[in-house]
Amino acid sequence: MHSSAEDIRKLLAAKTWAFVGLTDSPYRTVYQMAAFLQRNGVRIVPVNPRAESVLGEEGHTSVPTGIDVVAVYRRSQFVGPHFDEAVSAGASGVWTPLDVTDEAAAARALDAGLTVVMDHCPKIEWPAHGPS
């Protein structure tokens, strides 16, 4: 249904990722993943309640339009509204990190035509599925 190798490749090839939950704390996984993708040519967009700028990018309180992938780095019980926000913002995909899933939210996103990858780490998937 989702999180296939093809879906992973498609999202890792995207040029702009919004990171929900990204703050300027280098010890958090979300910061490390955003920094990793940024080093690999991906434009990152921080999304956090304080609209805090992170990694030299302007922060936002919600997912802006013009985003390819919305990466939701929150606990499973809190991701659903962000999947809906990704749909509303016109994103083409949604990604959640290891151990984060919401099948109902994934179904809504899939029904809206988004690519969904859940319970995967971009850094782990990059060697096999990232752009060459």
How many residues are there in the chain? 132
Give the residue extent of every domain in the chain. Answer: 5-129
| Element spanning 7, H or E | helix 5-12
Q: Tens of pLDDT along 20-79? A: 999 999 999 999 999 999 999 999 999 999 999 999 999 999 999 999 999 999 999 999
Encode pLDDT of 6-32 as tens digits.
999 999 999 999 999 999 999 999 999
Report the distance separating Cα 97 and Cα 118, nearest Å: 6
Report the topology of domain 5-129. Rossmann fold (3.40.50)
Mapped onto helix, strand or coil, the DSSP state of residue 26 is coil
Q: Give the per-residue SS3 of 36-95.
A: HHHHCCCEEEEECCCCCCECCECCECCCCCCCCEEEECCCHHHCHHHHHHHHHHCCCEEE
